[in-house]
Amino acid sequence: MPPFSTDTGRFLADGQTLLEGRNPYNSPPPVVIEYAHLRSFYPPLQEVFFAGVAFIHPSAFALKLCGGFAELAFVLWFLYRKRRRPLSRWLVAFLLFNPLSIHEIWREGHLDHIAAFFLYFAVGAIRPRLAAPAAAVRAYGFAALSIAWKFVGVIACLWQYRTRAASPLQRVVRVLLSPFTLFSLIFFALQLAPAFLFTPFAERGLTVYANYWHHGNGIVHALAALGFSAPHAVWLIQRGILAFGLVLVVLYTMRILTFSNAYHLALGSLVVFFPVQHPWYYFLLFPAILLSPGWRTLFMIICTLAPLSYLGYVDGVKSLGFVIVTTAWLIGVYKILAGNQVVQRHTAHRL
């Protein structure tokens, strides 16, 4: 099968641009690539990685090999650190052989999973509430690396929900005002600066998906069948996801949902219903898979099903992958929330 993506051409062109001493954010690519009229909008740390690969051997195969072995190194490091607490064999098998990593990194050359592991190590260090100075340094460092690689490290601040407070609302405020959160937000803003300062593409920037829709989202297809334009349908789904997130915040502050359930429900829904159904966004779920046993199985299933979104390229079944994944997601969420209600009722009865 031919590769689905031509992004590796962009990666290598950016690396070659850097090796020539030019700025990839405002210089045309030195070779012929798809969308050559657009300048780069990848984070600086990734640009350095691209330059390193281009220096070693400027080929798509070399890029995929470097990205794949980088991911494998992180997985083995994670397994080594957990050797005193044996992990589920299913989790180990998933980390080594899940189709998301095999297809998106080893075959397509997309490197987002590396940021997910940086994010995991940041969260793993932040969970003890920065009790030890060494853990604090590691947490800040890995959060910075995660954001520097692909913007996602800002999510780490949400794992501070164990902060003690009289009410859920006060807890949310404390987390938002914590030094670690402020650091992550500042680093996130700084990371966006190159795109907005130097890249012509940034005129659309973070709203680019309002003008672009992908093959896999069945809701986009349904709205288009009702007469909506594809960009308008994408816009509606984006706002729907934001509204759902606000509803979950309200349910958490009213103590109807625990923070863990509200957070994982919001994160999973964001990924599953995201209007652009590219499988690499599912890498955002990997830290939750590693850290959250209650949601682990469902997230592993969702990530395993993620490549089905490529059915969107096939006329007549373009929504099938989306329907399968969202059905699995809704059933899994129902079982988790219903199971938690049973446990809470049983605990209350015993008390």
pLDDT digits 0-9 by tens, 286-319: 888 988 888 999 999 999 999 888 888 788 888 9
Domain assignment present for residue 103? The answer is no
How many residues does the structure list for the chain? 351
| Section 69-85 average pLDDT | 86
3-state SS of 214-237 is: CCCCHHHHHHHHCCCCHHHHHHHH
| Whole-number Å distance between alpha carbons of 104 and 215 | 17
Domain assignment present for residue 341? The answer is yes
Domain assignment present for residue 287? The answer is yes
Domain assignment present for residue 299? The answer is yes
| Section 187-210 average pLDDT | 66
The model's confidence at residue 329, banded by pLDDT at 50, 70 and 90, is very high
Out of 28, 52, 82, a domain closes at 82
Q: What pLDDT does 342 receive?
A: 54
The model's confidence at residue 15, banded by pLDDT at 50, 70 and 90, is very high
| Section 342-351 average pLDDT | 55
Domain assignment present for residue 206? The answer is no
Domain assignment present for residue 13? The answer is yes
| Whole-number Å distance between alpha carbons of 26 and 124 | 37
Beta-strand ranges (E) seen in the chain are none
Q: What pLDDT does 13 receive?
A: 94
Q: Which residues contact 333 (CB under 8 A, 6 or more apart)?
A: 265, 268, 298
The model's confidence at residue 211, banded by pLDDT at 50, 70 and 90, is low
Number of H helices, E strands in the chain: 15, 0
The rounded mean pLDDT for the chain is 84
| Section 106-130 average pLDDT | 82
| Whole-number Å distance between alpha carbons of 294 and 290 | 11
Higher pLDDT, 136 or 335: 335
Tokens of residue 142, six digits: 């890995």
What is the 3-state composition of the chain as percent helix, strand, coil, each rounded to the nearest 5?
75, 0, 25
| Whole-number Å distance between alpha carbons of 74 and 53 | 18
SS3 128: coil
Q: Which residues contact 256 (CB under 8 A, 6 or more apart)?
A: none
Out of 57, 82, 107, a domain closes at 82
In our burial notation (b when 16+ CB lie closer than 10 A, e otherwise), range 131-168 reads eeeebbebbbebbbbbbbbbbbbbbbbbbbbeeeeeeb
The percent of residues above 90 in pLDDT, for the chain, comes to: 30
Higher pLDDT, 67 or 130: 67
Q: Give the pLDDT confidence of 149-181 residue by residue, as tens digits.
A: 987 888 887 776 655 667 778 877 887 888 888
Check pLDDT > 90 for residue 134: no
- Show the domain range for 11: 1-82
Out of 26, 61, 82, a domain closes at 82
Domain count, the chain: 2
CB atoms within 10 A of CB 250: 13
Cβ–Cβ < 8 Å for 161, 259 = yes
Q: What pLDDT does 130 receive?
A: 44
| Whole-number Å distance between alpha carbons of 322 and 345 | 34
Domain assignment present for residue 179? The answer is no
Domain assignment present for residue 39? The answer is yes
The model's confidence at residue 124, banded by pLDDT at 50, 70 and 90, is confident
